[in-house]
A = this chain, B = another copy of it.
Amino acid sequence: MTEKRPLILVSNDDGISAKGVHELVRVLSGIGDVVCVCPESPQSGMSMALTVNSPLRVKKLEDYHGAGMYKVSGTPVDCIKMAVDNLLERKPDIVVSGINHGSNAAINVVYSGTMGAAFEGCAYGIPSVGLSLTSHNEDADFSPCYPWIIKIVKLVLEKGLPYGICLNVNFPAHYEQFEEMRVVRSCKGRWNDRYEEYLDPAKRKFYWLAGRFENEEPESEDTDEWCLNHGIISVVPVMLDPTFPHPEQFSYLNSSPDNQ
C-alpha cells in the first residue's frame, strides 16, 4: 500500500513570477501534490486584504515540477479563497505561503501578505505556515532553507496545528546553512516611518513610504529578531482571532438602562 501524498496549497505575496515561490513549489513537490495559486502582481504589504468590490480573473499556467500553477488578479487572501472554494478538488492538507523575499518578523507580521495567505488558510481550519527569508534580493539564495522547510512541513502535516493558530517562520539571510530553529515570540518594536517627498514632471507632489524598524528589546533572546540576528531560524505561532481575552478589564464601557 502506498502512502497517500498530502495535498499542499502554495501561495505568496510577491506574485507568481517570484523566485521564492518557484523554489518552494519545487522543494515541496518532493513530498506532496502541490497546487500553487499566486497573485498575478506583487502584493507585498497587503495583509489580509480581500477583493470585495471588484471581480477577479484566474488563469491556469503551465505546470511547474508537476505542480498546477494558477495566477489570480487579486490579493494573497483572494488566492487562498479561490483555491479552496473553486480550484481544488478537496481541502488541502496544508497551506504554505512564501518563500517571501524579505523579513516578516516582529510587527511586519500584521502587514505581511505572505502571512495574510497563511492566516486565511488558518480561517479555513487548514494548518498553515508562512515562510520568509530576510533578504529583498530578487535572486536571493533560498537553498539553505530547503531541508528546514521539508522538516517544518512534515512536522506540521504529522502533528497538525490548533484551530486559529498558524506559524510565522523567518530565515536569516546570508547564511550558508542553519544549525538551529527556535519557537519564540514576536519582538516588540515599531517602524519609524517617514514619507519621502518628490515632484512629478508636472511639479505635483507625491510621497513614498520610507522608514526603519526600531527594535524595542534587542537584548531579549526569546524573540524572532534576536534569533534572526544570531543566525537562528525563528518560528512564531500567531493567532487569527485578535480578541483580547480579558474583556472584563473594560467593563467601564458597559452601559445598560440600570447603570446609565
Interface residues of chain A, those whose CB is within 8 Å of chain B, are 42, 44-53, 55-58, 75, 77-78, 81-82, 85-86, 107, 109-111, 116, 119, 123-124, 151-152, 155, 159, 162, 165, 167, 179-186, 190, 193-195, 198, 204-209, 222, 235-257
Contacts and interface: CB of A to CB of B under 8 A. Distances in A.
A44 B54 CA distance: 11
A247 B253 contact: no
Contacts of A179: 256-257
B251 A244 contact: no
B155 A56 contact: no
A123 B86 CA distance: 36
A253 B152 contact: yes
Contacts of A109: 242
Q: Kindly name the residue among A181, A182, A195 whose own CB sees the greatest number of chain B CB atoms within 10 A.
A: A195
Closest 10 CB pairs of A and B: A47-B48, A45-B50, A237-B244, A49-B49, A47-B47, A238-B242, A55-B206, A45-B52, A186-B243, A181-B255
Contacts of A77: 47, 111
A223 to B, nearest CB: 10
Contacts of A194: 85-86
Given A207-B86, A244-B238, A123 B151 contact: no
Nearest to A151: B255
A48 B179 CA distance: 34
A206 B21 CA distance: 25
Contact of A51 (B50, B116, B165, B209): B209
A55 B202 CA distance: 15
5 contacts: A46-B47, A47-B116, A152-B253, A183-B248, A237-B243
